[in-house]
Amino acid sequence: MTDVATYRRWVVDGLVVVVTALIGLLMARLRVVASPDGPEVLLGVDVAAGMLACVALWWRRRHPLPVAVGIVVLCTFSEVASVPGLVALFAVAARRPARVSAVVFLGSFASFAVYYSWRPAPEAPLWLLVGAVVAVHAAVFGWGLLVRSRLLLVASLRERAAMAESAAALRAERTAHEAREALAREMHDVLGHRLSLLSVHAGALAFHRDAPAEETARAAEVVRENAHRALQDLREVIGVLRAPVGELPLPGITDVGELIEETRRTGTAVVLHDGPGVTTGEHPVPETAGRTAYRLVQEALTNARTYAPGAPVTVTVTGGAGDGLVVEVANPAPVRPARADRPGAGQGLRGLAERATLVGGRLDHGPTPDGGWRTGMRLPWPS
């Protein structure tokens, strides 16, 4: 709570104590005027109890029920305490459940009956006096309940706003997490392919230092070209994540041919078995399925170069509208020992499985009887 709000509360509480005390003293004065022969001791006790009740109002916010119960007890023998009793009744009705405040309301009215039984007011008819007391207590009690309902409404609105804010924060966090996963998948798929090409040719340069100058130059040119393309692909991935959904420049099934040609230039023999017009665009494949199929071929070629160096690769793309799109990449056992597992090995296959599941397809992969490896995916292709 700010200092200004605290100061305002102190001022209001002080005014409540002072005003109720002045009203109580005025009531005592009127009692003296109406009954000049009354005992002074009783008047002193009445005023002292009333002033004590007024001071107790200072704690009515933090302890409304104990303060109200104490003032109700004082009202049984103090007329001056009746005014702070109404304030205490209001505080209870505004801050405690209706059942509790109703008990305090009945107790306040009962304290009036006790006080009137031993100090009656003969100058006023009983029915008028009872009616006035009931009306005043009911008005204060109803006002307190109204304030409580408004406070509960405000608290409920704040709670809903907090829940909505929390839900928005969770949605934002989930969106950011999905964006990070998308970035990781795209970088793995795109850069993994390029960097594997760099690794193959850099390894050839390192182990065949006595190779002819022409072959060394050709390998160096491939390294330079793919390093440049890797940077371009990285810029493309970042641009894809920033671009509007309708402007995503992502590869598709028609780019598989170019991908295979790049792989062939590295010395890996790749054979493409293409269904009628699937990779050429004669029979348009759904964009999402085509992009997923492209990523499968890209990841499988990267894995073949990494774990089956020198082994030929067969890429099969078949299917049609209504039958689904089937993509398979297979290679026999490697002709030379494979390199050790790369850091993060298996992430690409897990990412492909997630991609296939998202579009309603499935991924199958595993070793073949001849010691090779096969990776296949079936994707929906609506008619």
Q: Tokens 């002080």 identify what position?
A: 14
Chain-wide mean pLDDT for the chain? Answer: 79
pLDDT at 312 over 50: yes
Among 70-84, 132-146, 232-246, 351-365, the range scoring the smallest mean pLDDT is 232-246
Local confidence band at 165 (pLDDT 50, 70, 90 cut-offs): confident
Give the highest mean pLDDT range of 36-45, 82-91, 108-117, 175-184: 82-91
Q: Which residues pair with 313 in a beta bridge?
A: 270
- Phi/psi for 232 (5° steps) reads -65, -40
Whether the per-residue pLDDT at 241 is higher than 60: the answer is no
Helix (H), strand (E) at residue 239: helix 213-242
pTM for this prediction: 0.45
Report the alpha-carbon distance of residue 248 to residue 234 in Å, rounded: 14
Residues contacting 9, CB < 8 A, separation 6+: 61
What is the chain's alpha carbon radius of gyration, rounded to the nearest angstrom? Answer: 44
Using DSSP's 3-state secondary structure scheme, residue 314 falls into: strand
Tens digit of pLDDT for each residue in 85-142?
Answer: 888 888 898 888 888 888 888 888 888 888 887 777 656 666 777 777 788 888 888 8
Number of other CB atoms surrounding residue 72 within 10 Å = 24
What per-residue string of b and e applies to 83-112 under the rule 16 or more CB within 10 Å gives b? bbbbbbbbbbbbbbeeeebeebbebbbebb
Considering the four listed CATH numbers 3.20.20.140, 1.10.8.100, 3.30.565.10, 3.40.50.620, the one that applies to the domain covering 253-383 is 3.30.565.10
pLDDT at 225: 67
Buried b (16+ CB within 10 A) or exposed e, 137-162: beebbeebbeebeeeeeeeeeeeeee
pLDDT computed for residue 328 by the predictor? 94
Which residue ranges make up each domain of the chain?
Answer: 3-123, 253-383
In this prediction, residue 160 carries a pLDDT of 84
Q: How confident is the model at residue 200 (pLDDT cuts 50, 70, 90)?
A: low
Identity of the amino acid at 13:
D
Confidence check: pLDDT of 34 > 90: no
What's residue 340's pLDDT? 47
- Site of tokens 């304290």: 111
Q: Are 366 and 304 in contact (CB under 8 A)?
A: no
pLDDT category, 226, cuts 50, 70, 90?
low
> What is the reported pLDDT for 373?
92
The pLDDT of residue 248 is: 46
CA–CA dist 223, 200 (Å, integer): 9
